[in-house]
Structure 1
């Protein structure tokens, strides 16, 4: 799927933040017999994230839930900036960017629902998965062909990497 992002904007990208439920996962919560919550992540997305980080983009996770599975997945992927339990994702994203010396024009965000709208509007480059809620799709401007948890993150990473390499 093609996105209408300029190669200059993609090359200027220094921080890319992702919501988890509905973006890195399919949004469903699975409860085990002892009440634990289980999340399913796609390995293709993980590989795309590693490639994007290797290109010099700092990765972050900003999520409203606070679960050990997110921290574990972030460690596996080498994502240092993990903000959990935050409902105001725009405030969290802006604060993280400021702490890293990154402007909104150098920031991207991926979200899928109402709590993500502020962050989607704040970031220069904003994406929503194909199955995101209408409010997130409208705020994002760039919609993936893939659904959350089913390759949307990889699609975004691959597109950004291609654009970063385009003169």
Structure 2
């Protein structure tokens, strides 16, 4: 992916936050016979997230739902900052950044739908998967070739790493 920001912006990135449903997953929810919701995560995305974290970028997940699967996946990936049950994602992202001493110019965000638009607009570098809603794609600086849950996060991580000189 060719980023429409400078390599300097990618190198200055200190915090990269991701929505979950529609970004880390394909957005579909599977319900088991006992009513439990299941999510499917992509291992390619997980490896990209680990590589981005190893480059010194703090990772976060911000999601409107509150599910144990998100906490479990974050633990598996070593993501310490997990904000669940928040629809006000722009406020959640700004609050998290402030608590970490990070500015908007040092922050990236990936989201796929209307609740993500304020966070996409607040962050210096904003991504949406190709499967995202029109409003998220319009608010993003970059739209991935891959769909959410199908390698979009890996595509974002690889592009950032390349522009940071860490590929």
Q: TM-score, normalised by structure 2?
A: 0.98
Within-5 A mapping of 1:61-76 = 61-76=61-76
Q: Separation in 2 of the partners of 1:25 and 1:4?
A: 25
Within-5 A mapping of 1:74-153 = 74-153=74-153
Instruction: Report the Cα offset of residue 141 of structure 1.
Output: 1.9
Instruction: Report the Cα offset of residue 6 of structure 1.
Output: 1.0
Which residue is 1:36 aligned to? 36
CA-to-aligned-CA distance 1:114-143 (integer Å, 9 cap, x gap): 000000000000000001000000101200
Instruction: Report the Cα offset of residue 5 of structure 1.
Output: 2.1
CA-to-aligned-CA distance 1:58-87 (integer Å, 9 cap, x gap): 000000000000000000000000000000
Which residue is 2:164 aligned to? 164
Question: How many residues get paired?
Answer: 166
SS of residue matched to 2:59: strand
Name which of structure 1's ranges 65-74 and 2-11 shifts more when overlaid on structure 2.
2-11
Consecutive aligned runs of 4 or more in structure 1 exceeding 6 Å deviation: none
Q: Separation in 1 of the partners of 2:5 and 2:48?
A: 18
Q: TM-score, normalised by structure 1?
A: 0.98
SS of residue matched to 2:50: helix
Instruction: Report the Cα offset of residue 3 of structure 1.
Output: 2.0
SS of residue matched to 1:82: strand
Let me know the Cα RMSD of the aligned residues. 0.7
